[in-house]
Structure 1
Amino acid sequence: MKRGLIAATGVAAMLVSVAACGSGGSDDGGDDAGGSQGKKLTVWFMDGSNPPGWTKAVQAEFEQKTGAKLDIQVQKWDGIQQKLTTALSESNPPDVFEIGNTQTPSYAETGGLADLKDLKKEIGADWTDSLNKPAVFEGTQYAAPWYAANRVVIYNKRIWADAGIKDVPKTRADFFKDLQAIKDKGEAEPLYLPGQNWYFFDGLTIGTGADLVKKDGGKWVSNLGDPKVAKAMDVYKQYQAFSQAPKDKDEATPQQADVFAKGKTGAFIGMGWEAATAIKANPQIEKEIGYFTVPGETADKPEGVFLGGSNLAIAEGSKKKDLAKEFLKIALSDKNEGALSKEVGSIPNKESLLANLKGNAAAEAAAPAAKTGGTTPLIPEWAAVENAPNPIKAYMTAVLNGKSPEDAAKQVEAEMNKRLGQKQ
């Protein structure tokens, strides 16, 4: 699944299955700031990730400070896996490049990424742990957290008001109570939640402290039979009971924002940018849209959420590692990281920078859950699990159709273990 950056309403969660081949390039050691005239640093960003204001400011600052030129190359998502894998195995790879946060382990394991522990000490002491965790593999800092995004509740304020609801819920129980009030009113579907909204379910497993995989005899295997996974699925089932959405489809079939745009749905759980999709389908609904943080079991802690996002890494084969690190210091400075959040509504890599989201309602709703959010399992083997048809989606549908979580887990265990034996 791809990840994209949308301006007014924030960032979408994009994931790309990747693997990398690394070359043992050596650092030329001659890239001190201000002494790099005539040099050129190549940076790969994915299409949609580097907004114009931020890019212009970072490029100007880098070139003025170092004397080097910045060659920004925007890559298309189609075919990027093979293109980047090939580039990292050659003698002249991109010096700096963007990678999906959950895909960092794949590149790190194969030697494609430079060790950034010194950079972490210099500028990343206060990086948010939940955002930085995907940049670390087997205890080594192989990338730097750039931005993240997570799901929020997007709701129809008119429908909620008609049901007599005055305030947004602060706990899961309050949320269920509000959804019941909309159901009792009988004029709208309380919640649109298809049976296979896998990333929302992953967030629920993060909330219950569940691990989707475990080690068995040195190999990763399914852990779907764990009671903590079953607990998360039970919460999902309670949510899904308020929805008329199909139990065997995901949020893109049909696009949940298009369903919401019809004005007959109380809420859905999605990325902030999905509101723009709804508005495009029905401009009249813009005035009715509101956002709030997905509430957790208690008011002091939001629900667990999946943090989609990107890291920035330096190629192990780069001959300009020092200069590349100067670029990262500039791009990830508090000033520029804050500017990125302000321009696009992305979650910044430091809690101290969250104030830059003020005025962006979707981003403000997403921010509280970021600190305790998480990702899918950070292992190279995970990518194959999510390839269609995702066995966890089959597990979810089976439970919603009446199977016990234990039986549903057994139903997909063989396929999941087969995929965990693969790497991409």
Structure 2
Amino acid sequence: MRRRLLALLCVSAALLTSCGVLPGTGGPDRSTITVWLMKDSASQEFLDRFTADFERGHPDLDLDIRVQEWTGVGDKVEAALESESDDGNGPDVIEVGNTQVPRYVVGRGLLDLTLESAAKWGRDDWLPGLAEPGQQRFHQYGIPWYAANRVVIYRKDLFEQAGVTSLPRTRAEWLAATGKLNAAGRQGIYLAGQDWYTLSGFIWDEGGDLATEDGGRWQGALDTKAALRGMDFYRRLQSLGRGPVGADEEHPPQAGVFAAGRVAQIVAVPGLARAVLEQNPALEGELGFFPVPGKSADRPGAVFTGGSDLVVPRNTDVREGAVAVVAALTGARWDTELARTMDYVPNKAKLAGAVAGEEGAAAMAAGAAQGRATPSTPEWAAVEADNPIKGCMTKVLTGADPATEARRAAREITRALTVTS
């Protein structure tokens, strides 16, 4: 009889409330926030700690973190954003590459987080290379999470042998030191001829850009005087080694070249040092790091900033919970925890002290303050698909007229960026 009574009570409660618990009973309804994060962005230990802490602070929310593979994720994200409503299985928070945000903004599938970012999250302090790609026409859709950028990885023993006793802080010092290092049997620097990410930093340092926007129309800018000065510095630096002029840094992978030969320097993310040591354990203790030098000693050179932003789909049915997850992950506490755990750069320059104890991450953080990203337009992917910058670089390095080749590449960039109806 008691069992029948309990069953009747449950049926009555369901009829009164449709779902959940009977009002006034004190049992809170719980919502699940589905979060898509990319593989290797965060350790499982970090995710476990974050989840436990977040759920303690939000007793009405459960986190469901699902790790995604980078390969093919773009189409998967677009499909999730194009869905008319969240069916309970779609993501409520998504990690995306910082330069991918413009692609997702076009379909109007992202939640506008301008108010939260301006009023609560310190938008003005974010690293430009993370924040700018997440913004479209003064509206913030992508919230900076973590950054990574190139530094100079160098051989301490080869610097000592060449008598280079202080690390260069300016471009002029860098050229002078690299010239001393570039001796018989030793490359001053290994810099592939088509490393356009590194070239971009030199162009930005000179006040130039890869492309510029005017009234919603983009056009290539490699032929400006500033961009040509950046290319000229690249040419001078690249000549102080034997990097292939017709290939980029992955052909062959520069980690292997650095590990196998007497190469004094490469320009790469600090994490590449692990690959170098795996191939040549004898270099343990001999690798050091410093920021890419700038034109003057008061600040490092500009660098391309990679990394991730967090976005919220407009079709989420748990908006407040999703925003709370973004606020927590990108806030000072957990952002610095992630940076220390994974050797990243935090999303604000003033948080760089969190990685001061790690030489590579500290060098990266110093450069990140001057970081930039590729032009904030979804059409930039078309430029990279058949990259005219690479061809321009090879021709200049083999003796062609820089201005002529830059004009040709700028026209090709403009064509790729021109949206035709």
TM-score when normalising by structure 1: 0.88
Question: Which residue pairs with 1:358 in the alignment?
Answer: 356
Q: Which residue of 2 aligns with 1:408?
A: 405
Q: Is the 8 A contact 2:151 2:292 kept in 1?
A: yes
Deviation at 1:187, TM superposition (A): 2.9
Equivalent of 1:115 in 87, 105, 112: 112
- Out of 247, 251, 254, which is 1:253 matched to? 251
1:173 aligns with 2:166: no
Contact 2:181 2:188 in 1 (8 A): yes
Q: CA deviation at 1:125?
A: 4.4
Counterpart check, 1:302 vs 2:300:
yes
**Aligned ranges for residues 153-302 of structure 1 at < 5 Å?**
153-183=152-182, 185-215=183-213, 219-302=217-300
Verify: 1:72 aligned to 2:69, yes or no. no
Matched, 1:327 2:320: no
Shift of 1:215: 4.2
Deviation of residue 217 (structure 1)?
7.8
Which residue does the alignment assign to 2:11?
Answer: none
Aligned length: 388
In structure 2, the partner of 1:421 is 418
2:334, 2:98 → 1: CA distance? 20
Shift of 1:322: 0.5
* Paired letter, 2:146: Y
1:102 paired residue number: 99
Paired residues of 1:126 and 1:350 also in contact (CA < 8 A): no
1:144 touches 1:313 (CA, 8 Å); kept in 2?
Answer: yes
Q: Which residue of 1 aligns with 2:5?
A: none
Instruction: Letter of the 1:49 partner, please give it.
Output: S
SS of alignment partner, residue 296 of structure 2: coil
Counterpart position of 1:152: 151
1:97 match: secondary structure = strand
Alignment of 1:333-352 (within 5 A): 333-352=331-350
Secondary structure at the aligned position of 1:402 is classed as coil
CA offset at residue 115 of structure 1?
A: 0.9
| 1:136 CA displacement | 1.3
Find the aligned partners of 2:253 and 2:123 in 1 and give their Cα distance: 40
Q: Which amino acid aligns with 1:278?
A: V
CA spacing shift, 1:414–1:69, aligned 2, 3 Å: same
Distance of aligned partners of 1:35 and 1:197 in 2 relative to their CA distance in 1, 3 Å threshold? farther
Residues in 1 aligned to 2:286 and 2:91: alpha-carbon distance in whole angstroms: 45
| Alpha-carbon displacement from aligned partner over 1:90-116 (angstroms, at most 9, x marks no partner) | 122310001111121221222111011
Find the counterpart in structure 2 of residue 138 from structure 1.
137
1:316 to 291, 314, 317: 314
Aligned residue for 2:15? none
Q: Does 1:86 align with 2:79?
A: yes
Quote the Cα distance in structure 2 between the aligned partners of 1:285 and 1:416. Answer: 41
Where structure 1 has 5 or more consecutive residues not aligned to the other structure, the ranges are 1-33
- Secondary structure of the 1:380 match is coil
Q: Measure, in 2, the Cα distance between the counterparts of 1:124 and 1:293.
A: 26
1:47 equivalenced with 2:39 (yes/no): yes
Q: Partner letter of residue 63 of structure 2?
A: L
Paired amino acid for 1:386: E
Cα deviation, 1:273-308, whole Å, max 9, x if unaligned, reads 111110011111122111111111111021110111
Question: Shift in Å at residue 412 of structure 1?
Answer: 3.0
Residue by residue over 1:319-374, the C-alpha shift from the partner in whole angstroms, topping out at 9 and shown as x without a partner, is: 11111011112212211111011111111012232111022111111111211211
Deviation at 1:417, TM superposition (A): 2.8
* TM-aligned CA deviation for residue 171 of structure 1: 1.2
SS in structure 2 of the partner of residue 188 of structure 1: coil
Question: Separation in 2 of the partners of 1:398 and 1:242?
Answer: 18
State the Cα deviation string for residues 19-57 of structure 1 (Å, max 9, x = none): xxxxxxxxxxxxxxx997421111001111122232112
Q: Which amino acid aligns with 1:63?
A: E
Q: Match for residue 386 of structure 1?
A: 384
Secondary structure in 2 matching 1:146: strand
Percent identity between the aligned chains?
36
Cα 1:46–1:317, aligned 2, differ >3 Å: closer, same or farther?
same
Mapped to 2, the partners of 1:112 and 1:217 lie a distance apart of 23
Q: Larger deviation: 325-334 or 148-157?
A: 325-334
Partners of 2:180 and 2:127 in 1: how far apart? 38
Contact 2:96 2:309 in 1 (8 A): yes
Query: d(CA) in 1 for partners of 2:214 and 2:53?
Result: 50
Distance 2:347 2:180 in 1: 38
Which of the pair has more CA radius of gyration? 2
- Structure 2 runs not aligned, ≥5 long: 1-25
- Cα distance, 1:258 vs structure 2: 0.7
TM-score normalised to structure 2 length: 0.88
Q: Secondary structure at the match of 2:311?
A: strand
> Considering only aligned residues, what root-mean-square deviation do their CA atoms show, in Å?
1.8
**Which amino acid letter does the alignment assign opposite residue 161 of structure 2?**
D
* Contact preservation (8 Å) 2:152, 2:268: yes
Match of 2:4 in 1: none
